[in-house]
Amino acid sequence: MNEAINAVFTKTNMIYLAAGLLKTLQVAAIAILFSIPIGMVLALARSYSKGIAGKLAGIYIELFRNTPNLLWVFVCFIAAPFGSDTARCASAYVLFTSAMMAEIFRGGLNSIPAGQFEAAESQGFSFIGTIWSIIIPQCMRNTIPTMMSQIVTVIKDTSFMAQVAVAELLYNTKNLMATLYVYSGHPITTAEVIMLFAAAAAVYFAINFTIAAAARVYQARMAKDTGKR
């Protein structure tokens, strides 16, 4: 066991895995950063537009919700007009996650009583002003726990990039498994394989459990604040 630990957890190996983790977090951050505003626009269009904008938003949402994320990773890796593998893969996650966020936000919008619009209108708010100042803030506040759950999904789904040989955490783990004998001087053992994938699993778990725990704390605080009213 000690030999396996010494072979796997070297400084060189940890730097290599850390580089993969950085790629994972980079793509996840891009997906989250862009999908939140895009998802909100799609949700608003689908909820409040009766014209072509609402129909197009509906088509977009249903297309991506009912097809695998991995499919879009392949499509964008091949066809997206970007210069780097990272950008092409990130575009797939933005497209897919925007649809997921749109449905989350649409649920939040639907939970807001219609009387909010009437009350806002009586105070002199325009429709756009009501959406921006009253509806969106409430929607965001109500959907934060579900959004954080989707963020966990995005981080886990970045492992799909291993299928197109992008050096994220899982790919680097698999690649290290294939080349570990170069550094250890002997064929890789079962114990070393288990340790490598356990290390990757521990990293995913630590990040996602922290986000999920934060979501639970927020939900509990919201429930407590609601109970005080």
Crossing angle (nearest 10°) for helices 11-48 and 85-110: 40
Show the domain range for 58: 2-228
**How far, in Å, CA of 94 to CA of 39, rounded?**
10
Among the listed residues 184, 158, 186, the one whose alpha carbon sits nearest the alpha carbon of residue 171: 158
Counting the structural domains of the chain, the total is 1
Q: What is the CATH number of the domain that holds 19?
A: 1.10.3720.10
Q: What pLDDT is stored for residue 186 in this prediction?
A: 65
Q: What pLDDT is attached to residue 143?
A: 92
Q: pLDDT tens string for the chain (229 positions)? A: 676 677 777 888 889 999 999 999 999 999 999 999 999 999 999 999 889 999 999 999 999 999 999 999 999 999 999 989 999 999 999 999 999 999 999 999 988 888 888 888 888 888 889 999 899 999 998 899 999 999 999 999 999 999 998 999 999 998 888 877 666 566 778 888 888 899 999 999 999 999 999 999 988 888 777 665 5
3 state DSSP class of 168: coil
